[in-house]
A and B are shown apart, each in its own frame.
Chain A
Amino acid sequence: AQTVTQSQPEMSVQEAETVTLSCTYDTSESDYYLFWYKQPPSRQMILVIRQEAYKQQNATENRFSVNFQKAAKSFSLKISDSQLGDAAMYFCASLLGSNYQLIWGAGTKLIIKP
């Protein structure tokens, strides 16, 4: 079975500093997608960044970047220049190839200290 693990229930960072959220996954498939979603207190799920497994280059979206280690099945999210608006729950998810649906980690609560 495909699984996604986020080992950090909560992380905190000083405003303007850099923080890395960890995610590991397990899959028997060779081609898949990985995602990070942000869920602020408004409850809305917002796609932050996506990674295609067959691409070796790490995805970046402005201040957000990933460190994708396919052999280690690791997919961490780096947030640079943290802002107060980054405070939220962050979920890592993988796309299951058998039905193209998402498997989710339990989430990491990110706290930004002003």
Chain B
Amino acid sequence: NAGVTQTPKFQVLKTGQSMTLQCAQDMNHEYMSWYRQDPGMGLRLIHYSVGAGITDQGEVPNGYNVSRSTTEDFPLRLLSAAPSQTSVYFCASSKPGGGDGYTFGSGTRLTVV
């Protein structure tokens, strides 16, 4: 089925390790975003992209990097994992403008020990 695919679904990292969360969409959406979800809070924007080669920071970008070399893929890199990055991460995509709503991946639960 068409949609947003995130991998992995679960991950445990040690403090200081790095890793990449993968996100791919097959709907030809130009807009893609990464959010994190923490208990008792709404989702918070980490980074976003409005097209291939264009990225920008969201509300909580520190400790994360992104790149957008193709329309389909938008990986999120954790540079040096910290316990504060323990969270559920969502990738989302939409048509330009976002007014139709964003389609979300199934999320990645990351634990940093």
Contacts and interface: CB of A to CB of B under 8 A. Distances in A.
A62 interface: no
A91 B50 CA distance: 24
B56 A100 contact: no
A46 B104 CA distance: 8
Nearest to A36: B101
Interface string B70-113: 00000000000000000010101010111111111011010000
B53 interface: no
B97 A100 contact: yes
A43 B88 contact: yes
B40 A106 contact: yes
B33 interface: yes
B48 A91 contact: no
Interface string B43-68: 11100101000001010000000000
A56 interface: no
A100 B98 contact: yes
A79 to B, nearest CB: 18
B50 to A, nearest CB: 7
Contact of B48 (A43, A45, A101): A101
A42 B94 CA distance: 22
Contact of A52 (B50, B99, B103): B99
Interface string A41-72: 01111110010100000000000000000000
Given A101-B48, A101-B98, A102-B43, 12 more contacts: A4-B42, A35-B101, A43-B107, A44-B106, A45-B107, A47-B103, A93-B42, A95-B99, A99-B50, A99-B58, A101-B33, A101-B45
Closest 8 CB pairs of A and B: A104-B42, A45-B104, A100-B98, A47-B101, A104-B43, A43-B107, A33-B99, A106-B42
Interface of A: 4, 33, 35, 42-47, 50, 52, 91, 93, 95, 99-107
Interface of B: 31, 33, 35, 40-45, 48, 50, 56, 58, 88, 90, 92, 94, 96-104, 106-107, 109
